[in-house]
Amino acid sequence: MTAAIDIRGVTKIYNPGSNQPVKALDSVSLSINDNEFFTLLGPSGCGKTTLLRLIAGFEQVSGGEIMLFDDEIENLESNQRPVNTVFQHYALFPHMSVASNVAFGLERLKKPRSEIDETVARVLALVKMTEFGDRRPSQLSGGQQQRVALARALAPSPKVLLLDEPLSALDLKLRQAMREELKQLQKETGITFVFVTHDQDEALAMSDRIAVMSNGEVQQIGGPTDIYEHPVNRFVADFIGDTNFMDGEIVDIQDDLVTCRIGANSLYKAQNSGGHSVGDRVTLFLRPEKITLSAAGQANGADSRPGKVTNIVYLGNQAAYTVDMGDGIELTAQARPREDGKLPFTIDESIAVGFSARALRVLAK
């Protein structure tokens, strides 16, 4: 299958030749499938926005190739690339009505007037903004401007739609509602979406595939569950979701289980991800939701260890507990409040901490 976008060894260096060159992207290669919701995820400064701007044509690559459906585009001006962008702060033209904003791209492409009017009406309906065609952007709320920006970018039927943190300026409720809508819109239009965000929840909720980036490099590419359950390194495990890390040394390997010594003398069994040998320094990671907390003495199963609550953060639907496991090991786990709203454990309470060896995974150091 032909890739919608094929990034081949793309490097971007800002201020080359100056005394402070900045390498924003370091030989990045990735392939985005047609009709895919693809997310570039990473902290600020990781190069995700730079990559998007290179695809859009706002910046020029320092090296490498960008293919769009087998056409080489990295040397084209942005107005010659059949991709459109939804900007972080919308960048709607303030001197034009909503309808003129949406028609802008089609007019530049010299489409006949009747077709322009038809398309504008259709995309405005698609984003549920039909009755706002005559308004100015300044008369719209943030969420409405967001929809107009989407309609404007969709109107010319781009081969790929680029979205640069489009939800970051919206408040939480609206942001969550827009997630669903964006995903829905991508399915309806069948256009490939390349979505840039630093918000892991957004990425997990919407994407078909995610590329996690840091320091100008792609750390891991995969589906949301791949990335969450099987991170390839500590950065990915740490960036996506909350995680407990334990540094230790492998002391024994039996089939699909490895035994690690953590701290001075605590032994933990974990799932073997392969390629390890006895004596390796490794990091184990354990998602908080895979830990079951129960009152001391009520624990069932051999996987339970004693611990002591040292801190509680109340989050409404649940509480995050920090538990001292002894030997300098601290784990964070979650527990739901009881039906009467009270939290199940108190600070300094001794409890049983249960988790299966299947939930503990080994990351290479």
Partner 1 sequence: MSGWLPRSAAGRRWLGLAPSYFVIGIFMLVPMVIMGVFSFLEPNPYGGVKPVGSVAAYVKLFFEYDLEDKLIFNSGYINIIFRSFQLSAGATLMCLLFGFPVAYYITLQPENRRNFYIYLITIPFWTNLLIRTFAWIIILGRGGVIETPLLAAGIIEESLRMMYTDGAIAIGLTYSYLPLMVLPIYASLEKLDFRLLEAASDLYASRFEVMTKVVIPLCKPGIIAGCILVFIPCLGAFIAPNLLGGGKKLMLGSLVQFQFASARNWPFGAALSMLLLSAVVIMLIFYARAASRRAAMEGESRS
What residues line the site for partner 1 (CB under 8 A)? 56-58, 77-80, 83-85, 87, 89, 91-95, 104-105, 108-109, 136, 138-141, 152-153, 156
Q: Which residues pair with 311 in a beta bridge?
A: 322
Asked if 192 contacts 160 with a C-beta cutoff of 8 angstroms, the reply is: yes
CB nearer to partner 1: give 37 or 104: 104
CB nearer to partner 1: give 115 or 249: 115
CB nearer to partner 1: give 133 or 354: 133
CB nearer to partner 1: give 127 or 291: 127
Asked if 39 contacts 197 with a C-beta cutoff of 8 angstroms, the reply is: yes
In whole angstroms, the minimum distance from the beta carbon of 56 to partner 1 comes to 6
Amino acid (1-letter code) at residue 52: L
How many C-beta atoms surround the C-beta of residue 39 within 10 A? 28
In whole angstroms, the minimum distance from the beta carbon of 93 to partner 1 comes to 6
How many C-beta atoms surround the C-beta of residue 20 within 10 A? 6
In whole angstroms, the minimum distance from the beta carbon of 108 to partner 1 comes to 4
Length of the chain: 365
Max intra-chain CA distance, the chain: 77
In whole angstroms, the minimum distance from the beta carbon of 104 to partner 1 comes to 5
CB nearer to partner 1: give 74 or 324: 74
* Angstrom distance (rounded) from CA 139 to CA 306: 59
CB nearer to partner 1: give 78 or 356: 78
In whole angstroms, the minimum distance from the beta carbon of 61 to partner 1 comes to 17
In whole angstroms, the minimum distance from the beta carbon of 130 to partner 1 comes to 15
Amino acid (1-letter code) at residue 149: A
CB nearer to partner 1: give 56 or 204: 56
CB nearer to partner 1: give 162 or 325: 162
Six-digit token string for 151: 């309609």
Six-digit token string for 255: 């089939």
* Angstrom distance (rounded) from CA 68 to CA 311: 51
CB nearer to partner 1: give 194 or 227: 194
Residues 6+ positions from 18 with CB-CB distance below 8 Å: none
In whole angstroms, the minimum distance from the beta carbon of 188 to partner 1 comes to 21
- What is the sign of the dihedral through the CA atoms of 43, 287, 229 and 219? positive
Six-digit token string for 299: 């624990």
Asked if 16 contacts 62 with a C-beta cutoff of 8 angstroms, the reply is: yes
In whole angstroms, the minimum distance from the beta carbon of 191 to partner 1 comes to 15
In whole angstroms, the minimum distance from the beta carbon of 78 to partner 1 comes to 5
* Angstrom distance (rounded) from CA 156 to CA 104: 9
* Angstrom distance (rounded) from CA 192 to CA 55: 13
* Angstrom distance (rounded) from CA 169 to CA 328: 41
User: Collapsing DSSP states into helix, strand and coil, what is residue 68?
Assistant: strand
Six-digit token string for 237: 């495990």
